[in-house]
Amino acid sequence: MSFYLAIIGTRDNAVYDLEFGTYRQGGDGKPKFSADMKQLCPFIVHSSLDIVEEMQWNTNVMHLKVIDKFYNYLISSYMTAGNIKFLLLHETRADDVIRQFFVDLHDLYVKTLMSPFYSVDQPITSAVFDQRVKMLAKKYL
Amino acid sequence: MPPQPQSVVSTPLDSLSYAAPSRIRAFLCPVGLVSRPRFLDFVSRLQDTAIIRLGDVTPDPRPERVMFSPQGFPDGFVVYNFVTSIDSHHAFLEDLELYRRTLAVFGLADYNNVNDLTDLRIVIGALQAQHPQALIHKVILFDCPLEQNELPSVDFICVPPKRASRITTVRTTLCDLTSALLAELPLLAKAFQAADTIASPLARDDDYDSVMLTSSAVAQSRPSPAGSTGSLPSTINKDNRLSYPLSHHTERQRMRRKGRSMKMIANMYLLAGRTFDALKEYNDALNVLKGVGDHLWHASSLEGIGICMVILAHIGVSFVIPNSVLPPVSPSSEKKELEQPQLLDLLPQMTSNILSLYNRSQNFPGESVPQITYAETILRTTNLLACTTLAGGWTSAARTAAVLSRPIPEISIPYSQFHHAKMDVMNWISAAQAVRLDGVDAVDAARILTGVAAACGKLGYSRKRGFVLRQLVLELIPRIFQARQVAQNRKSRLPWSDVDDDEYWEDSRDVYVQPQDLDSSVLAVLSDICTVYGIPVDSTGEVSTFGWQGVKTSILKTCIGLCQVMPDFVGIVRYTSMLFRFSAEDLTVDEQLTLMRNFGNAYTAARSMGVQDFEQEYWDAYLVRDIAVVESSLWAVPTLVPLDAAPSNRIDSSGPFIYSPFAKKGDEEDKKHLFVLDEPVEFKVILQNPFAFELDILTMSLVGTGTSFSSDVISLVVPPRKLYPASIYLTPTSTGVLNITGCRFQVLGCKETIFSITPAQAAVTPPVRIKNFGLDARNSSMVKIPSPAFVKHVSVEVVPALPVLRVNRISLPQSSLMLLEGERRRFVIALGNVSETVPATSVSLKFSDSTTKSLSAALQEDSRGESDRYEIEMFLHKRAALRCVTDLNGVKVPANGEAEIELEVLGKRGLTSACIEISYSHVFDSNVVLKEMYVRTLTLDINVTVNASIEVAGCDFVPFSYDMPMIRTGDGKATTTDILLKFLDQVGIPFEEMDNYCLMLLDLRNSWPSQLAVELDSRTTANDIHTVKKVIQPGHLTRLLVPIRRISDIDTSLPIPSLAPPKQFTRSDVKSMSGDGSRKSGLWSPEVERTVFWYREELLKVLDGRWTDNISETDGLRRGAVELRALRISPQMVEIIRVDDVVVNLSLAPSEYNRRSGKYHWIVEADSFLTLVTSVTSHSTADSVSGILRIQPTLRNLPDSIALDINRRILFNGILQMPVVDIKSGDTRRVETDFVVLVRGEYEFLASFEETTAGFGGKRYIGREKFVISVN
């Protein structure tokens, strides 16, 4: 199974994105997207923003669950209080695990946001952040 | 033959609205000479009245034509779908979906351009031949003043001009046409009823009956894209299908045929507006088709029922929902009139059923559903649901929108309800999106995807819409490319590959998309996609921080790809520019080079086709990194000189503070460049090219604000990845301040644009405060580039025309000369004016020389005493090495003329070179008093060698004393006294006055290798000058004896002055008070130093020395001054030179008992009464002096112990010390003391005066000369 994670800022800008695969069922953590799909992932995630924008006023929880689908792919979303969107493209429905993943990711994001050298909407280039996100992915997905 | 209009006029009726299958397709084409705007006007007039109520239509009286008579359902209506192009592409679908068939053909003619109406008859024939499947062919004559009966044929319809017509005129015309059409429909119905077989769209003639086809054949049986079906005339198809032999029919097929023909009739009822009949026919057909398992037609009938119900609901007529469409679980009552909201629930369910039937039909080859039908069914349902969602439910607005494509008025809907409804619609959209487009041709793919996009757009999901449109573009690119390849029969080439060979571009021009078509078509779609993804379409000087960078790059590449296959040269130019502007950093070197090559080709192609104004701005806003003035060696830069007397940095001497930290520093002022009118100035412009390709700049010129100027226009090529300095000239044409703000560029393929100077490329940072989220943030995310904070400009001042001077000649060989120290020499420089028009009317000189630096450095040393410092300042400021002899006020250099200036140079020790700065200007009106003036400066260096001449080796002072031994030697040699007397006689000092003088012994050395004659003047009084002359041999040291008049009246309390501008400093008084030898500077205490300083200054005033080289005549007569400032004097010498402030003189009052043997030597008789007269004279600068006078008699030439014992030798009348008070300056007070000498011998009298004015410890003055009395 392959995943595509994107953190979207307030201006539809990608703050961070990552492709990864599962470690479950003998997976090696590498994404297995086809070349076309690899190119398409950002577009799919981007097009789901319409739904996220609509959902955000309709609920008081941050985890919006699966909000959109594209062929066999599902898009789960999580929205922080500062209107930063976490979007995960995945293949099977696993709301609880994804919620835990998002909550931990939110924790990481807030820590990044507290850095005096980082301001909202800037791309996250920290290698540590990247590594920790990968660890989260390995832990949950 | 009527011309085919090239562009599609957008129909105001949504072709994917739910009720679209109920519309009659009518083809409009221009007939005769009709201009494009006129034609479009006619079309829009017809479109305004596209809905015709059946009640308004006159029924055809013929009995065989009453099948679709409007009287059957007067509330119903016919809706026309006016098209201006023939969709021959979907002809194979016309049997299943009759609304796709063009039933009416209307030629639109402009009566004003019609010459002969009979000609138009041929047109009718042509239309009939061209569109045989249409039921009626009419020509509508617009702006026709004739009555209908005046026309030659019934096929001509007359529409009067707009002015002469009422609102209903066109409607009436259309009603008549509808009547004719409805009268023709029964013929078509009969044809269908009579047909042996009605084929499914995908059925092929040969395999119609072969039921068992492999599933792989299904795909093959679909129509091939773009051509085969489209190129075949549809009539042939139809005829072939209809002419099937009867013998093949089984009972099942008979029922199927019956069902199908019923469905066809139902379709016609639907088109004719007879909705009730249509509903009934559909229902009947449905039952038949269901029974024979004809899924495709069954589903199509089901859809027809849905449409009928919606239309009936729209008209507001109550109707009964057929039982067959109700879900099996619904209440078992026979026929139930459903509430309308329930109808809304029912419709999606029906569509689901339809889709499942369609899916089932896939199993029957030849009977399977075409993709386009399948997709459009979904899209129509989506559309219906979208309408109800936006209208807030099954309202009349929603129904009108669904049936007539009317816009829905905005209403506020409870959010959660709205959202859920939208989610339902989204599910349908996903279903539509999931339709596979593999076997679908370009047109159908475009139709399906635009339908999906439109639905997304309706719901306000613009990102989803953008995504679908991008998919559409990606679908189109290879298809268009393939089509072009087939058409051109060229070797295969990938659409993404570099299309750079010229042939491609040449060929492309044939199929090039005309720019006027682009406004409403492809470019608009692409712009739309770009906007959604945060690429501003018209960004001038702004960059958007909105959007996802990687996605943006990908989108732009897609746009370029589409434009390349179209080919749309303007689009290529436009999107390549945008790609470079927004995503240059994401491109590889190869990509950049390829893009640039294609860009260049597209630009050239577009230009050669005569396209105008399509260029974009150059993409790099930071093109100009810097502009700097290049100092010209040809044109000296003028400077501003203040002319008023007060210096610019005048010090306010009223306070103790000289230094003000707030005062403007002089250095910072003169940063502004000054240009001279009409003189070209060179600028260095630093250009950047961060790209991998060469930048071809066609024109480049400077732009600025302020006064007028003319800039050169240059063209250049900036090499890749370079900061490149370009040189450009500018000529100011009027005076004033000129701000160079940037450059105007025309880069190859780009619009001419002005670029500001941006020394630093600041990172584009989005606004920090977040005010909007998502797409709303698009506008607030625009950031101006370059940021105004980083833009600089070069400010220059243009001054009136100035002359340009050159040094034409100089009277020194190679600008160099040799001098002896103290020598002066004159030379002449000739200045020439190069300027043709401007004379130099004001010339001034400024000198500097090589000594300045070392003297200034010496001055900086802290350890120097004040007198040393004064000495250095003296040499720095007063001993100028150069001097101008000519009166500069009279010097004027006329235009193209010449003038001479004479200068004098002084041989000063340490002088090796000197610099003459000639400042000149042109004053237009000499009467105007200028405060400041612009001057140009010309610098002239001369080399000087200074050799030593006469040097002061040392000096000493000897007082003239009467105490000298007055002996005359016996051998006749001159005694000291003789020599002294002789000397005094020589210099003209009377012997009596001798003690007012002293003698200076001055040692002079001749360091020049030839003899020099020295003359030394000493001013003794105001008029008398004593001159000492001597010839000094080379290398010899000679002592000169110079009489000096002793100096009085010097106020030594004055501080040592300073010639330099005053400086603020703090003085450590503690240090100087500590007294002892700790004071580093100077050997003496400050008081002594001051005294020495002032006496030396006074001494130098009266001395003057000259030397003459009268021997060597080679360079003419050398003469010069002896540098007497080399004199060093000590406090002891000062004592000799000075006249005491108080002088005490002793003498005896003349009497018979005494006689005078010298000035201070008396011979008296013992035991005689004598009077000692003591005179006290004040030379002090103080007003009055008081003190105590003491007289001390001693025995002469005896040791002190005995000498002072005079009590028994002299009797004094009175006391020997007495106060003398209040002696005015210059006055003399006489004190007389009587005494008698008792014992013979020689006595000395000393008188002293101790000043008490200044309190205790006043100065003590002692008589200078010994007063001696010899008693006989």
Q: What's the average pLDDT block by block, 10 residues per block, for chain B (1272 residues)? A: 37 74 89 84 85 87 84 88 81 82 88 74 84 87 76 78 78 88 88 80 52 33 34 34 47 85 90 89 89 87 90 87 71 49 80 88 83 88 87 84 82 76 85 80 83 87 89 84 71 43 53 50 79 78 81 90 84 88 86 91 87 83 88 74 51 61 58 79 90 92 90 92 91 89 89 86 73 80 76 85 87 86 88 87 84 83 76 83 83 87 87 87 72 82 88 85 55 64 77 79 87 85 81 88 82 78 60 44 73 88 84 68 86 83 84 79 86 86 82 85 82 87 84 88 87 68 80 83
From chain B, pick out residues whose CB is under 8 angstroms from the CB of A54.
Answer: 419, 422
**pLDDT at position B151, please?**
73
Query: Could you check whether the bond before residue B990 is cis, i.e. omega within 30 degrees of 0?
Result: no
A67 close contact with B: CB closer than 8 A: no
Low-confidence residues of chain A, pLDDT below 50?
A: none
Q: Which H/E stretch holds residue B387?
A: helix B371-391
Question: Which of A40, A50, A80 is most worth mutating to test chain B (most B CB atoms within 10 A of its CB)?
Answer: A50
Work out the minimum CA distance from A26 to partner chain B, whole angstroms: 31
B550 and A14 within 8 Å at the Cβ level: the answer is yes
Question: B77-83 and A73-79: which strand pairing?
Answer: unpaired
Cβ-count burial B667-686 (b if 16+ within 10 Å, e if not): eeeeeebbbbbebebbbebb
3-state secondary structure chain A: CEEEEEEECCCCCEEEEEEEECCHHHCCCCCCCCHHHHHHHHHHHHHHHHHHHHHCCCCCCCEEEEEEEECCEEEEEEECCCCCEEEEEECCCCHHHHHHHHHHHHHHHHHHHCCCCCCCCCCCCCHHHHHHHHHHHHHHC
Question: Which of A4, A13, A17, A71 is most worth mutating to test chain B (most B CB atoms within 10 A of its CB)?
Answer: A13
DSSP secondary structure code for residue B686 in this structure: E
Both structure tokens of B1178: 């004040």
The answer to whether residues B1087 and B1094 touch, using CB atoms and an 8 Å cutoff, is: no
What does the pLDDT look like over A88-118, one tens digit per residue?
999 999 899 999 999 999 999 999 999 999 9
A12 and B426 within 8 Å at the Cβ level: the answer is no
B551 and A43 within 8 Å at the Cβ level: the answer is yes
B462 and A83 within 8 Å at the Cβ level: the answer is no
Work out the minimum CA distance from A45 to partner chain B, whole angstroms: 10
B546 and A12 within 8 Å at the Cβ level: the answer is yes
DSSP B772-836: --GGGHHHHTEEESS-GGG-B-EEEEEE-----EEEEEESSGGGEEEEETTBEEEEEEEEEE--S
Work out the minimum CA distance from A137 to partner chain B, whole angstroms: 23
Number of Cβ within a 10 Å radius of residue B940: 16
3-class DSSP assignment, residue B1143 = strand
Nearest CA in chain A to B763: A122
B466 close contact with A: CB closer than 8 A: yes
B745 close contact with A: CB closer than 8 A: no
Nearest CA in chain A to B534: A12
A47 and B768 within 8 Å at the Cβ level: the answer is no
**pLDDT at position B249, please?**
54
**pLDDT at position B772, please?**
81
Q: Which of residues 14-43 of A touch B (CB under 8 A)?
A: 14, 39, 42-43
From chain A, pick out residues whose CB is under 8 angstroms from the CB of B422.
Answer: 54
Q: Which H/E stretch holds residue B1261?
A: strand B1260-1262
DSSP secondary structure code for residue B368 in this structure: S
B1107 close contact with A: CB closer than 8 A: no
Q: What whole-number distance in Å separates Cα of residue B905 and Cα of residue B944? A: 9
- What number of C-beta contacts closer than 8 Å exist between A and B? 89
B415 and A58 within 8 Å at the Cβ level: the answer is yes
Of residues B48, B561, B696, the one with CA closest to residue A39: B561
From chain B, pick out residues whose CB is under 8 angstroms from the CB of A46.
Answer: 463, 467, 533, 548, 551
A59 close contact with B: CB closer than 8 A: no
The answer to whether residues B111 and B144 touch, using CB atoms and an 8 Å cutoff, is: yes
Given A42, A43, A58, which is nearest B419 (Cβ)?
A58
What lies within 8 Å, CB to CB, of B821 at 6+ separation is B907, B908, B909, B946, B947, B948, B949, B950, B951, B1120, B1123
Q: What whole-number distance in Å separates Cα of residue B893 and Cα of residue B985? A: 58
Question: Which of B773, B778, B779 is most worth mutating to test chain A (most A CB atoms within 10 A of its CB)?
Answer: B773
The interaxial angle of helices B549-565 and B569-583, nearest 10 deg, is: 160
Distance set, CA B297 to CA B96, B103, B285, B1201 (Å): 7, 21, 9, 164
The answer to whether residues B529 and B522 touch, using CB atoms and an 8 Å cutoff, is: no
The length of chain B is 1272
Given A14, A68, A119, which is nearest B768 (Cβ)?
A119
From chain B, pick out residues whose CB is under 8 angstroms from the CB of A83.
Answer: 770, 773
Report if pTM > 0.90.
no
Nearest CA in chain B to A12: B547
Work out the minimum CA distance from A97 to partner chain B, whole angstroms: 24
The answer to whether residues B1026 and B1041 touch, using CB atoms and an 8 Å cutoff, is: no
A120 burial level (CB within 10 Å; 0-12, 13-18, 19+): middle
The answer to whether residues B307 and B19 touch, using CB atoms and an 8 Å cutoff, is: yes
From chain B, pick out residues whose CB is under 8 angstroms from the CB of A82.
Answer: 770
Given B467, B778, B781, which is nearest A43 (Cβ)?
B467
B777 and A51 within 8 Å at the Cβ level: the answer is no
Q: What whole-number distance in Å separates Cα of residue B1098 and Cα of residue B1262? A: 24
Q: What whole-number distance in Å separates Cα of residue B1122 and Cα of residue B1106? A: 5
A57 close contact with B: CB closer than 8 A: yes
Given A10, A47, A71, which is nearest B463 (Cβ)?
A47
Given B461, B467, B546, which is nearest A11 (Cβ)?
B546
What lies within 8 Å, CB to CB, of B305 at 6+ separation is B279, B282, B283, B286, B322, B324, B325, B350
From chain B, pick out residues whose CB is under 8 angstroms from the CB of A44.
Answer: 467
B775 close contact with A: CB closer than 8 A: yes
A125 close contact with B: CB closer than 8 A: no
**pLDDT at position B332, please?**
45
B546 and A13 within 8 Å at the Cβ level: the answer is yes
What single letter denotes the amino acid at residue A8? Answer: I
A119 and B467 within 8 Å at the Cβ level: the answer is no
B549 and A69 within 8 Å at the Cβ level: the answer is no
ipTM summary value: 0.94
Work out the minimum CA distance from B497 to partner chain A, whole angstroms: 17
**pLDDT at position B223, please?**
37
From chain B, pick out residues whose CB is under 8 angstroms from the CB of A51.
Answer: 426, 461
From chain A, pick out residues whose CB is under 8 angstroms from the CB of B551.
Answer: 14, 42-43, 46
A58 close contact with B: CB closer than 8 A: yes
DSSP secondary structure code for residue B1027 in this structure: E
B415 close contact with A: CB closer than 8 A: yes
**pLDDT at position A62, please?**
92
B777 close contact with A: CB closer than 8 A: yes
A49 close contact with B: CB closer than 8 A: yes
Nearest CA in chain A to B424: A68
